[in-house]
Amino acid sequence: MIGPVGIAIALVAGLANWTAPAAAQEMAQLRDRLESAFGSYSWGNADWSVLVLSLDAHDTLFAIAPANALAPASNVKLLTSAAALQVLGPDYRFLTYALGTGDVEHGVLLGDLVLYGTGDPGISDRFYGRRDDVFQRLIDDLVEAGVRTVSGDLVADASFFPGPLRGAGWDPRDLNEHFTAGVSALSFNENVVSFRIRAGPVGAAPLVETIPSHSALEVLNRAETVDGRARPRLAILRDDPLEPVRVEGRMERASQEVWRQMTVAVPADFAGASFRAALEARGITVAGETRTTVDADASVVKTIAAPMLGRPGPRILARHVSRPLSAYLSVINKESNNLFAELVFRTVGRVVEGAGSPEASALAVSKALASIGVDTSGIVQLDGSGLDGGNRVSAGAFVQIIQGMSESQLWPEFWASLPQAGTRRELARMYQTPAAGNLRAKTGTIEGVSALSGMVRSADGERLAFSLMVNDSPSQTRAKRVENQIGAQLAAFRRSPGEVPQIVAEAPRPASNPVASADRHRVTRGENLTAIAIRYGVSLDEILRVNPRIDANRIIAGQWIEIPQRGNGS
């Protein structure tokens, strides 16, 4: 059991490997308060790793086994985010293509139509008006290219990443849940569907609907609608993500509809089926079947350079450019979105190591972290999100990440991506404490694990980087109470007069590409380009620069126009 005495022993041992701060009454009082926060609860066999380091004075304020590598849960996303900013840059964008394997003649694509993904997790209604907006934009370009019929197949090509779809160490009990969506180079609707079940006539099966409707899931509806005299009990079950979904039990005729969200089995199948439905709704017919490939050797993209070599090859008919990475990092860290984290993680591996496997991605992340001074020798990273209970990172490594990023030009983007204390829908905890609106940190929670790592400014404005992690905690609620107490204590900390270090102010946000295309406008009757430019606060020249095919003197109702967005889009 770790009580006050145990904490004190661990504290002394923890400080042995870190620079000792100047002995001051305020420092001793802070340590007493932090010790008391830990020692006020019984922790059983819990294992801690804690470090608080001043980024301005470069001294250690508090530590408990800071080199102890523990399971960090979603704090792993800090590794993924820091590496992604260094490797990809805040303005990196994912591309999704519609490719043709033949020529377009008299409205017919003579060959296959290939939907090729490079890992964009944002093809949903998160950033767009409708969940299939990206598909509609690709279809706009197909129509403009003259495609009315596809003589071959529709191929959903997810070969950019080799797999696996799910982490080997993910808890199998969670694999139906939205936060364990399959990881694929081709994703749609964040790889989840919602089941809507309504009662049918008595004696008949209930009505089962999936939203979106083209889920590519096999559903076995074995349930029955009853009149209410028997106790109704409805279950939506699946033992493995690749097995059929079973609807079983009884549903009362007068009962309200039942909703259940579930991951899709194979994301590329889902994306292909949904894209085909969108094509057909727009009047583009596909003569062949819809098929999926994850085999890089079978991908048509292998031969995309063939035309330059004088051989026939696929041509780009349409292309979609995603929101910038900076916008995606906010989703990863503020919402702790696992799919976004995994796809950014795999992308880092693909860019640095030439392969988007978890092993290659972990190696790429390790190299990026080492370049900013992080000791990666004790880090074990098995995925990009922290779902795998086998991940291992110490509090010292997390503080080194915060310190290294704070000294880089990418700090403003990294800092902006972290949840802010006392802020609804970010880190609502520590409300009405000195940490509110001040402290920013990534949370982490899986069974038996709680973590909080980030930075807070003291009452003097001093930058304090911290990482608090516990494994085998008997109570996550108890652990988070301690995290809140420590966050508030650090925000209220004030040094003795004359001992306040020189404070480093926040660096200004660097300007991003001022005309990076980030949105679209659909022309309505009577509009002109000048009026559209004024509406969005950009110049006419900027609109023409990102719309090279537009005739400045002639736009028509229904036409889509890319709108340049200033700033980084986050």
Domain boundary at 267, 287, 322, which?
322
Question: 186 by DSSP, 3-state: which?
Answer: strand
Q: Is residue 498 part of a domain?
A: no
Distance from C-alpha of 262 to C-alpha of 271, rounded to nearest angstrom: 15
Distance from C-alpha of 189 to C-alpha of 271, rounded to nearest angstrom: 9
* Bridge-based pairing state of the strands 207-211 and 393-394: unpaired
Residue 562 has what pLDDT? 79
pLDDT tens readout for residues 533-556 = 887 888 888 888 777 667 777 787
Same domain as 149, residue 291: yes
Residue 238's domain is classified under what CATH number? 3.50.80.20
Residue 510 has what pLDDT? 46
Residue 5 has what pLDDT? 40
Same domain as 369, residue 248: no
Q: Is residue 509 part of a domain?
A: no
Q: Are 477 and 471 in contact (CB under 8 A)?
A: no
Q: Is residue 305 part of a domain?
A: yes
Same domain as 156, residue 46: no
Same domain as 276, residue 337: no
Same domain as 104, residue 72: no
Residue 22 has what pLDDT? 44
The torsion angle over the Cα atoms of residues 82, 85, 88 and 90, rounded to 10 degrees, is 160
Same domain as 215, residue 99: yes
Residue 560's domain is classified under what CATH number? 3.10.350.10
532: containing domain: 516-565
Radius of gyration of the chain (CA): 27
Q: What is the pLDDT along the chain (570 residues), one digit of tens a residue?
A: 444 445 544 554 444 445 544 447 888 899 999 999 998 888 999 999 999 999 999 999 999 999 999 999 999 999 999 999 999 999 999 999 999 999 999 999 999 999 999 999 999 999 888 899 999 999 999 999 999 999 999 999 999 998 899 999 999 999 999 999 999 999 999 999 999 999 999 999 999 999 999 999 999 999 999 987 666 789 999 999 999 999 999 999 988 899 999 999 999 999 999 999 999 999 999 999 999 999 887 777 765 544 444 545 689 999 999 999 999 999 999 999 999 999 999 999 999 999 999 999 999 999 999 999 999 999 999 999 999 999 999 999 999 999 999 999 999 999 999 999 999 989 999 999 999 999 999 999 999 999 999 999 999 999 999 999 999 999 999 999 999 999 999 999 999 888 888 888 765 554 444 334 446 777 887 788 888 888 788 888 888 877 766 777 778 776 777 787 654 332
Q: Are 66 and 50 in contact (CB under 8 A)?
A: yes
* Bridge-based pairing state of the strands 463-471 and 449-457: antiparallel
Same domain as 374, residue 233: no
* Bridge-based pairing state of the strands 108-109 and 60-64: unpaired
Same domain as 454, residue 339: yes
Domain boundary at 322, 346, 380, which?
322
Q: Is residue 205 part of a domain?
A: yes
Same domain as 337, residue 314: no
Q: What is the DSSP string of 187-237?
A: -SGGGEEEEEEE--STTSPPEEEEESS-----EEE--EEE-SSSPP-EEEE
Q: Is residue 370 part of a domain?
A: yes
Q: Is residue 570 part of a domain?
A: no
Domain boundary at 322, 347, 365, which?
322
Q: Are 514 and 478 in contact (CB under 8 A)?
A: no
Q: Count how many domains the chain has.
A: 3
Give the C-alpha distances (Å, rounded to integers) separating 14 from 49, 173, 233, 394.
9, 36, 54, 12
Q: Is residue 503 part of a domain?
A: no
Residue 517 has what pLDDT? 41
Same domain as 469, residue 383: yes
Same domain as 342, residue 288: no
Q: Is residue 337 part of a domain?
A: yes
Same domain as 526, residue 464: no
Residue 533 has what pLDDT? 82
Residue 10 has what pLDDT? 54
Residue 420's domain is classified under what CATH number? 3.40.710.10
